[in-house]
Amino acid sequence: MEAFRTATDAAAAVLPCVSEPLTTGDAARAHRLAGFRADVLGDRDAAAAAFLAARRLDPGWALPDRFPDSHPLRLLYGKLALDGLLPSRLPRPRSGTVWVDGEPGLTRVAGLPALVQWRTAGGRTAWTGYLPGAQQAVGYPEASPSRPAGWALLGVGAASAVAAGAAFAVASDAHENYFDPGTPPDALEGLRTETNTAFWVSVAAGTGAVGAMVAGAIVLRI
pLDDT at 141 over 80: yes
Band of the pLDDT at 71, cuts 50, 70, 90? very high
pLDDT at 143 over 70: yes
Band of the pLDDT at 174, cuts 50, 70, 90? low
Residue 163 or residue 50, greater confidence = 50
pLDDT at 216 over 60: no
Which H/E stretch holds residue 72? helix 72-77
Across 129-150, average pLDDT: 80
Q: Distances from the Cα of 87 to the Cαs of 39, 106, 154, in angstroms?
A: 25, 10, 30
Which H/E stretch holds residue 169? helix 147-178
Q: Please answer whether residues 117 and 22 qualify as being in contact, where contact means their C-beta atoms are separated by less than 8 angstroms.
A: yes
pLDDT at 222 over 70: no
Tell me how far apart the alpha carbons of residues 46 and 132 are, in angstroms, rounded to a whole number. Answer: 8
Mean pLDDT of the chain: 82
pLDDT at 147 over 70: no
pLDDT at 192 over 80: no
Q: CA-based Rg of the chain, rounded to a whole angstrom? A: 31
pLDDT at 185: 73
Q: Please answer whether residues 94 and 146 qualify as being in contact, where contact means their C-beta atoms are separated by less than 8 angstroms.
A: no
pLDDT at 195 over 80: no
Three-state SS at 36: helix
